[in-house]
Each structure stands twice: as C-alpha cells, then as structure tokens.
Amino acid sequence: MTTLSGKVALVTGGTSGIGKATAIALAQAGAKVVVAGRRQVEGEETIRQIQAMGGEGFSVTTDVSKEADVQILIEKIMTHYGRLDIAFNNAGVEQDSTPLAEQTEATYDRIMDINVKGVWLSLKHEIPALLKSGGGAIVNTSSVLGLVGGAIVPIYTASKHAVEGLTKSVALEFVKQGIRVNAVSPGPIQTEMLDRLFKANPKATEDFIKGQPIGRIGMPSEVVNAVLWLCSDASSFVTGQSLTVDGGFIVQ
C-alpha cells in the first residue's frame, strides 16, 4: 500500500498489539524500524520477526515516562542511522474500570506519566531529530475516549484528551518546518490490552460488541493501515488531525 523505502521509523510501545503490528508493517513497507518498549524480550522478538522477513531494525528498552530513557533512545537512533523520518508514539496503558471514589493517586500518576508525559517527552526529543532529517511524520496513539467521555475510566479518558491537545498544538508549531503531527484514535481493538479489560469484566465483551455499529471488535491491522497512511506522503496535506478507527462508535 505504501512505500517507505529509505525511511527510519520509531515505534514506542512496539512490543505487542498495535505497536508490534505497526512496526512489522513499517518494515514491510521498506522502513528501517526501531522498536522501543519497557519489555526487552518482547521488543527483541518484534525485531526478530522483522529480520526474518528481510527487514532491518533494532530494539531499545525504554520507559517513555523517563526523559533520560527517551534521550538515550533518540541518541541511539541518530548514532546508528543518522536520521529519523517517522515516529509512532504508541506506548500507553489502560485503566481498570472502577468507581471514581475508589481510584488512587498511584493510578493517576501511572496513567498520566505514560500516556501523556510519555508522548510529550517523545515529541520533545523526536522533533529535533526529524528537523535534522528535513522533516517527517509523527503519529500519536489516542483513543475514541480522547474524543468522547468514558464513564468509570476518567483518568484514561483525560489522558487521551491530552494526547489530542498535544497533537494539535505541536502540529501547528512545526507545520512550516516540514513536520506533520497527527493522531490515530482506535475504538475497541483485539489486543492484549483489551483482553485484560475483558478478563477483569467478562460482560464487557458483550457490551462492547453491542455498542459497535459495525457489529464486531476491530483488528490491529485495521489501525495499522491508518497509521501507515498518516506516515506516508499519501497524507501530505494532513496535519493536526485525529483519524478515528472505531467501526462507527462515536458517530452513533
């Protein structure tokens, strides 16, 4: 669908789910791929699969909520490849569905540190590298809950609203310097994260499907296709946008 030959791409949260699927797809499109995540073994496995199909890349164990980790990540990319063209800021965590009064400060800090601070730190250190490369494309992972309210998960919902705000603001700041910044906002997608939510609340599976106009849960590949388009020159006139991949959930 998309040719990204000669490009260097970074995927945070590339150890599983949408991040892993996107890393593999970027490599299939010709990009050299760097996978970042907190789980070393899983990151190396993503790269092994990329290399097994003839692709190129490496993994860096990274906690995006720590600025020193993000700095080291970008330095390794620039040392190894000398450029960065694409960044998919996908690292994130979910929130257990609990009443507001039972939610803890530790939960708030964990979600905000990874989902918001992690995206901000990634943008902060990716953009100088992209500018040195003459520009590029950034895609942040938001959620349909970055666009509408989500009862019982207000912290997660707030974190994704923040990602939407970061996306718009940073897109405007760098649009004339050749950097496009967009978001992808998935609905319920069949990933390990969704499996964890369903395990904690089995009835949620039935409720999710009932709430989907399209009548099913989405697949990672359906989000990947949107991300690849936003990363490619095919979307050259698109910036500051949130591309919703949700089976019609938020328009009902």
* Domain spans, the chain: 8-190+220-245
For residue 30, the model assigns a pLDDT of 97
Q: In order along the chain (252 residues), what is the average pLDDT of each group of 10 residues? A: 88 96 97 97 97 98 98 98 98 89 96 98 98 98 95 94 98 98 92 69 70 88 97 97 95 90
Question: Which residues are marked as active site?
Answer: 156
What's the predicted TM-score (pTM) here? 0.94
- Burial readout 39-55 (b: 16 or more C-beta within 10 A, e: otherwise): eeebbebbbeebeeeeb
Fold of 8-190+220-245: Rossmann fold (3.40.50)
DSSP line for 78-133: HHHHS---EEEE----------GGG--HHHHHHHHIIIIIHHHHHHHHHHHHHHHT
State the angle between helix axes of 40-52 and 17-28 in degrees (0 to 180), rounded to the nearest 10: 30
Nearest CA-CA partner of 177 in 230, 138, 209 = 138
Q: Are 12 and 33 in contact (CB under 8 A)?
A: no
